[in-house]
Amino acid sequence: MKLRLMLWLLGVMLKRALRRKPGFRQALTDARRLDWGIATEDLSIARHYRMSPQAIQTGAGLPVDLDLELRFADSASAIRVLRKPTQQAFLDGMMAGQVRLVGDSADLKKLQKLLKQL
């Protein structure tokens, strides 16, 4: 339940940043569009985000047309990494087998650049 709430709040924070933070808006304009999602490996908890300079849409589940997916071994490892979403935390999680990246790593760099603006 904690991870579900955390992912829902992330969507609220992204929408709020689009409205209120010019730096976030500019970074999203530079990135053009980014569709990404976060899920556990068994897909029991999953949420996706469709971000464009005009709007941010969020929903439950993982559609197949996403640019980037972050898959976590379980909800505890997801919470641990997402509390401090640094590049080192993601690398450590990948090396330990707790995090799996589905998609292009360039999209992960775009996402990290956007999340720094939050």
pTM of the model: 0.89
Looking at residue 112, its pLDDT comes to: 84
Residues 6+ apart with CB under 8 A from 58: 8, 11, 14, 15, 47, 48, 49, 50
Cα distances (angstroms) measured from residue 80 to each of 2, 60, 70, 74, 92: 12, 21, 14, 10, 11
CATH of the domain at 74: 3.30.1050.10
The total of structural domains in the chain comes to 1
For position 83, what pLDDT does the model report? 87
* Domain that includes residue 30, residue range: 2-116
Contact 18, 55 (CB under 8 A): yes
pLDDT digits (tens, 9 = 90+) for 65-115: 999 999 999 999 999 888 887 788 888 888 999 999 999 888 888 888 888
